[in-house]
Structure 1
Amino acid sequence: MRYVVRLFFGAVTGALLLVVFASNANAQYTSSVGLKPSSGPAGSSFTISWSFYPCKGAVTFSWNGTPMWSTPATLQTTSGTVAAKVPGGAQPGTYPVTGTCTNARTGGPLSAGSRFTVTGTTTTTPPPPPTTTPVTPPPVTTKPSKPGTPTTTPPTTTTTPPTTTTTSAPPTSTTPTTPGAPTTTSTTPKPGELVLDRPSVQPGDELSASGRGCEPGRMVTLMADGAEVGSAYTDSTGAFTAPVQFTRIEAGPHTVVAECGVRLTGTVDQVVTRSSGGQTSTLVILVFFVLAGIAVIRFP
């Protein structure tokens, strides 16, 4: 009988310990997403604050089920903020904003979310213009003429001035082109096309990329040679324009890739000018020492 009682109390104690350990293990997992502000019109900006642990890789944030923003997370980086923007074509209503990452311990997903309310646009009706009462001019009194005096009305003569038409040719303006300077193109991109405003650039030159055919309100990431060189958001028509800044200087053609739900590509040449001033100085010093040696040998 004592053995049965001990066995019963041992089983109850083990079950309690398992419950305590399980609750402590679950308490270590944190998943939360906050929005500030949590409401606003289409196209407005807001901030996503997040906390995920244990998490590895990237935390992906979705707007109404569509992935739109991401940020890296590690076991050391367990929280942070992300700048976000309401899609330009969003209709008034409440939409879920969800964050998801991979559990570093179990390999399963960690997720949390919040909700953003898109408000309508308030239309203000301007007040009607003030009503002005027209002023009535005083009546005109005609002075009577003496009997027997005829009234003569002077004739009215209308002279039409001659019309002279002068046709002048529009001035022609010619802008000189500096040799070696990269030309700038302003071609409007077609749907599914990425256009760079310069065919070639030198270190320090400004470069801009324009594209069309992306999803409206989508974040665009520009990549070149495996590195991020720019980013932007698309407007309500799916078009965008972003500055491009290369992280390294390497002569030759470079392919710029824009990721915005679709993949757009463009090519630009990077030109690097090398200076030969150091070689010239070295050659002058070498010639000087050769001449000095000849003078020493000739005149001992």
Structure 2
Amino acid sequence: MKLRKVTAASAAILALALAATACGSSDNKDSGSSSSGGGKIKIGIKYDQPGLGLKEPSGSFSGFDVDVATYVAGKLGYKPNQIDFVETKSADRENALQRGDVKFIVASYSINDERKQKVDFAGPYFLAHQDLLVKKDSKITKGTDLNGQNLCSVTGSTSAQNVQKTIAPKANLKENSGYSECIASLQSGAVDALTTDDSILAGYAAQDKYKGQFKLLGLKLSNENYGIGVKKGDTATLNKINDALKSMVSDGTWKKDVEKNFGPAHYKYEPAPKVGVIVK
């Protein structure tokens, strides 16, 4: 009888220990659930795009994409201090979602048919246009002027593909991993132009160290519908993000954040796009 009592007591203690361990594991896991559980959420952004997604020397983050990501995360139940911003470069965005490195991506991520085969998109939340940034005294005035010229863009961007296919097939395309390298090449004269979305170019041109050096041509070479990328099949998160984007527009936050981030560059931005409607 005494042996059975000891065994029963030991079993009870073991059960309590296992329960405590399970609770501790749940608390520490970044599951992407609401902040009521005390967890964190990982969101992919760019680190090198002034006006959109920029990691400041202090370690903080700024830009319209950062503001959108923070607003959406808030609607999902996360406070700003529960957000981990993860750098996701253009060429690695699909892989980051497929691997589960991030819950969603807000990184000047243009919606197109090829990408929709791999990820799902909420939005769009912003309409940009491909454009060219050149030196202030450049003689380049249109897309076809790029034939025979050195052009810089970022690996994996739709802008680079668009130039090669339709705009200037004979341009000498130089692809870098980030826009910072491209604008440094433009400043030094190693390339004659930089192409990407006008929103990104405007952010760079507005920086104090580049003011007066470059000009944005305003060509509107394409329509770039920025969407928020989520893992393929994650319909629940997709729907919640779409609801958050609608709220951001209706409560005035979208316009306020656009003007805060792009106003200094005198960038003529488009009105907020309607969620679910792609401008061709």
TM-score normalised to the size of structure 1? 0.27
- Which has a greater percent of helix? 2
| Structure of greater Rg | 1
- Which has a greater percent of strand? 1
